[in-house]
Structure 1
Amino acid sequence: MNLFKYFSESRAELSRVTWPTRTEVLEGTQATLIFLIGLTLIVWLMDTLFGTAIHTLLK
């Protein structure tokens, strides 16, 4: 397959793609950020608790 045919077929395939709307992208981004912030807080809390517990046990 030559390069021209490859790009031609790729362009045709991309024209058939159903792209998400702006609202869908923003909602997905918002959900991802909320999840990551929550997960970060959970990991931070666990790190703090275990660090304090280990520090107390080794003291």
Structure 2
Amino acid sequence: MFGGIARYFREARAELGRVTWPNRSQVLEGTQTVVVFVIVFTLFLFALDYIFSLGIRTVLQ
């Protein structure tokens, strides 16, 4: 049982050594893309919510 766990961690560590990690500029570019997407999507949802709330308020009055 414990031999299997130790083997798992040895293999996981070896696999991490084979990973191609992104450099700093790639990480910053990816982060910037995600932040812009989140802001745009948030504004879209805000506008959609505002439009629906106006419609519901109009119907209920």
Q: TM-score range by the shorter chain?
A: 0.7 to 0.9
Once superposed, what is the RMSD of the aligned Cα atoms? Answer: 1.4
Q: 1:40 aligned to 2:54?
A: no
Which aligned runs of 4 or more in structure 1 are off by greater than 6 angstroms? Answer: none
- Look up the match of 1:57: 59
Per the normalisation by structure 1, the TM-score is 0.85
Match runs of 1:21-36 below 5 Å: 21-36=23-38
Percent pairwise identity: 49
1:9 and 1:46 map into 2 onto residues whose CA distance is: 48
Aligned positions of 1:4-23 closer than 5 A? 4-23=6-25
Gaps of 5+ in 2: none
